[in-house]
Structure 1
Amino acid sequence: MKLFYKPGACSMAAHLLLNEAGASYSLEKVDTDAGLTETGAAYADTNPRGYVPALEFASGDVLTENVAILHWLGEQHPELSSDSTGRPLDRFRTLELLSFLSSELHKGFSPYFSGKTFSEDQARENRKKLDAKLGQFDALLNKGGDYLLGDTFSVADAYAFVILNWSNFIGVSLDAWPGTKAYLERIATRPATRKTLEEEGLAA
């Protein structure tokens, strides 16, 4: 498998999971602004929509869209998509969490990476919306356990880590949500996370 990625982008979630699973894979960095991969190939030939991630298989098939790739990885590695108790609803809880992360929490950070200039009122509104989504996420952690599905690290945690880690790039403090802050720090210490950050050139 080959993962097309951009350092620090949402593609890091799949990268992190590949390391968690000990999977065999290669990486190809993408300059999404230029539309080129690090080998000089036109990325549109892999993903016509131009954004990461994309996962290419030995067959030549390509899977795109973050939620689809993360769900596929969870299906291949069931230990990453269910709690250790094996609750029947876990597979759908994972989809529920991925949907929230993609459509709500991820979206809350989007204005900060849009390249747009906002008025003071717009900036306050953006922050208000982001704070609301962070509060909703924090509430998910109050169900017990170290991770979103309890005591088992899952595909949803990989995606949540990547999104929440963006707070470090935009100067947003998580102090108002101590549970979320501790959760982010906890995942940052995992060996697979450290390896992923190093491979993407983002290790402190």
Structure 2
Amino acid sequence: MKLYFSPGACSLSPHITALEAGLDVTLIKVDTKTKKLEDGSDFLAINPKGQVPTLVLDDGDVVTEGPVIAQILADLAPASNLAPGNGTKARYKLQEWLNFITSELHKGYSPLFKPTTPDDYKPVAKAQLADRYAFVDGKLAGKKYLLGDTFTVADAYLFTVSNWAKFVGVDLSAFGNLTAFMARVAERPQVQAALKAEGLTK
């Protein structure tokens, strides 16, 4: 399998998932601005959306959208417990979290990264994120991870997205449960390995 990624982007989530699952995945770096690969070839020929992550399965099928890719990787290694079994209530809860993170948090950061966003709108975007994080913080009370004591793909996604806060001036210090969660996830060996592989840590 091939995982197309950009350092620190949302593709970090399936990268973490692949390592946690013990899967053999080849990482291919993408320049998301030029839409080129390191060998100069056109990324748009692989994914016309031009976005990471993109997963190319061993049979050649191309899959896009991070939450879907993360679930595929988890299902390829069921013993890793990175996703509850399909058809279970726990799986639906996982999917609920993945949808919340992608729509309410991930996309909430988008205006803060765009140079064309008016400066007077950025405080609005930050306030919306703070509101969403207050909800997440409450749900993490008394838990190690979003679904309880077991690390899942939803945790990898929440960690990845929330790492962006420091780059765009979103203050998460008021959310004690989230702060503890971030530290807990950052200590996981495979998370450290993913961060190092993407050049995000030494």
TM norm structure 1: 0.92
Contact 2:104 2:132 in 1 (8 A): yes
Q: Which residue of 2 aligns with 1:198?
A: 196
Deviation sequence 1:69-108 (CA, Å, 0-9, x none)? 112122223310139xxx9411111111100000111122
2-structure distance, mates of 1:48, 1:28: 16
2-structure distance, mates of 1:124, 1:63: 35
Q: Which residue of 2 aligns with 1:91?
A: 91
Q: Which residue of 2 aligns with 1:18?
A: 18
1-structure distance, mates of 2:133, 2:55: 29
The aligned length equals 199
Q: Which residue of 2 aligns with 1:123?
A: 122
Q: Which residue of 1 aligns with 2:30?
A: 30
Tell me which amino acid in the other structure corresponds to 2:173. Answer: D
Give 1:145-156 correspondences, 5 Å limit. 145-156=143-154
Q: Which residue of 2 aligns with 1:51?
A: 51
Tell me which amino acid in the other structure corresponds to 2:146. Answer: L
Contact 1:82 1:149 in 2 (8 A): no
Q: Which residue of 1 aligns with 2:186?
A: 188
2-structure distance, mates of 1:155, 1:119: 34
Q: Which residue of 1 aligns with 2:3?
A: 3
1-structure distance, mates of 2:143, 2:169: 28
Answer with 74-83 or 96-105: which moved more: 74-83
SS of the aligned residue for 1:28 comes to strand
SS of the aligned residue for 1:80 comes to coil
Deviation sequence 1:30-53 (CA, Å, 0-9, x none)? 011111011211001110010101
> Is residue 171 of structure 2 the alignment partner of residue 173 of structure 1?
yes
Q: Which residue of 2 aligns with 1:101?
A: 101
RMSD: 1.6
Query: Any stretches of 5+ residues in structure 2 without a counterpart?
Result: none
Tell me which amino acid in the other structure corresponds to 2:82. Answer: L
Contact 1:108 1:133 in 2 (8 A): no
Q: Using the aligned pairs only, state the percent identity.
A: 41
Contact 1:82 1:152 in 2 (8 A): no
Query: Any stretches of 5+ residues in structure 1 without a counterpart?
Result: none
2-structure distance, mates of 1:2, 1:82: 24
1-structure distance, mates of 2:195, 2:119: 34
Q: Give runs of ≥4 in structure 1 deviating > 4 Å.
A: none
1-structure distance, mates of 2:119, 2:36: 33
